[in-house]
Amino acid sequence: MILDGKKVRDELLANYKEKIKKENLNIKLAIILVGDNEASKIYIKNKERACAYVGIAVEKYLLAADTSESVLISLIEKLNNDTSVTGIILQSPVPGHIDFDKCSGLIDSKKDVDGFTKENIYNLYLGKETILPCTVKGIIKLIEYYNIPIAGSNVVIVGRGNIVGHPLSLALLNMDATVTVAHSKTKNLKEITTSADILIAATGVAHLIKKDMVKVGSVVIDVGVSRIDGHIFGDVDFDDVKDVALWITPNPGGVGPMTVAMIIDNLLMMKGWEDNG
Ligand code: NAP
């Protein structure tokens, strides 16, 4: 059976739109792009489309590739202090002369849509309420939507990156899953992945996960995106795995749409904080 990220996204966006209209919420997202990355432009378009649909204003700051770090920092500080701005995204990647972690870390943690600031990561570490990174939150919402139990499940995450695997491991641990994190140095990967009730692949290695790595009747979630010769591949060989897994995400059409929806979810959370002082 398919974990249909597009369908769930559409339902969520319709709910968010209704809430924003009913409560007359004034929400503004500021997106900063430094340079001309083509993939980033597509991601930003998707974010703008979702915001326009639900009734959230977007202010784009398209900075030249040679913009200095200090100019970028001044802009972030200006947006932090602008009470009309609910949330801020610094789109990655940034040009090499800019330290992404440093700059994204300067975003006010209450406006940190991507959940990358120290305070939000520390709260995740402590198991406190926090802004979760959008992909992490999207994966969890997708699992929950289909009533798949997380507490007590054996979850194997392949990939320990800072955007997906690592924060996801903390979030699922906070939800009482038994979490194993595998990575490029893991020995006997197949032995580990076949123990998973829920297997989440977030590596960017095309078709890494084949059917002999998947437990019969398990849940398989494919986060990876790799581009080879103009084609996009996920981490999971969908056609090979689909008859072994009970639940599986398509890719595209699984985690990607959920990630975009969670931008709106995070903005609504921030708006709630703002309104409650
Ligand atoms: P990342 O920081 O590059 O991390 C990749 C991880 O994969 C690393 O931990 C690496 O291990 C591990 N890895 C690489 N080759 C492996 C192998 N052969 N076996 C096992 N593990 C291996 O990536 P990320 O930012 O977390 O993103 C992961 C993937 O998700 C990417 O393809 C990215 O494009 C995609 N993504 C998708 C969405 C979406 O909305 N669909 C959002 C964000 C990211 P080491 O740590 O040992 O190097």
Q: Per-residue pLDDT tens for 162-186?
A: 999 999 999 999 999 999 999 999 9
Q: For this structure, is 265 an active site residue?
A: no
Q: For this structure, is 112 an active site residue?
A: no
* Torsion angle of the four alpha carbons 187, 191, 192, 195, in this order, in degrees rounded to the nearest 10: -170
Taking CB atoms and a 6 Å cutoff, what residues make up the pocket around ligand 1? 135, 158-165, 182-186, 189, 202-205, 208, 223-226, 255-256, 259
Q: Specify the residue with its C-alpha closest to ligand 1, atom 40.
A: 256
**Number of the ligand 1 atom closest to the C-alpha atom of 259:** 40
Give every strand in the sheet of 247-248, ordered side by side. 178-182, 154-158, 198-201, 219-222, 247-248
Q: For this structure, is 114 an active site residue?
A: yes
Catalytic residue among 112, 114, 237, 265: 114
**Average pLDDT estimate for 212-230:** 96
Tell me which architecture the domain covering 14-110 has in CATH. 3-Layer(aba) Sandwich (3.40)
235 CB-contact burial (10 Å; exposed 0-12 / middle 13-18 / buried 19+): buried
Q: Specify the residue with its C-alpha closest to ligand 1, atom 16.
A: 184
Q: What percent of the chain is predicted at pLDDT more than 70?
A: 100
Return residue ranges of the chain for CATH 3.40.50.10860: 14-110
Residue 39 pLDDT > 90: no
What is the third-level CATH fold of 134-255? Answer: Rossmann fold (3.40.50)
**Number of the ligand 1 atom closest to the C-alpha atom of 186:** 20
Measured CA to CA, the distance from residue 159 to residue 224 in angstroms comes to: 9
Cβ atoms 157, 198 nearer than 8 A: no
Ligand 1, from 40, 139, 160: best to mutate by most atoms within 8 Å of Cβ? 160
Residue 55's pLDDT band (boundaries 50, 70, 90)?
very high
How far the first Cα of the chain sits from its last, in Å, is: 44
pTM: 0.97
Residue 276 pLDDT > 80: no
Residue 50 pLDDT > 90: yes
pLDDT of residue 273: 84
Catalytic residue among 4, 28, 91, 197: 91
What is the 75 CA–ligand 1 centroid distance (Å)? 30
Return residue ranges of the chain for CATH 3.40.50.720: 134-255
Residue 227 pLDDT > 80: yes
- To the nearest whole number, what is the mean pLDDT of the chain? 97
Does the CA dihedral 141-144-150-151 come out positive or negative? positive
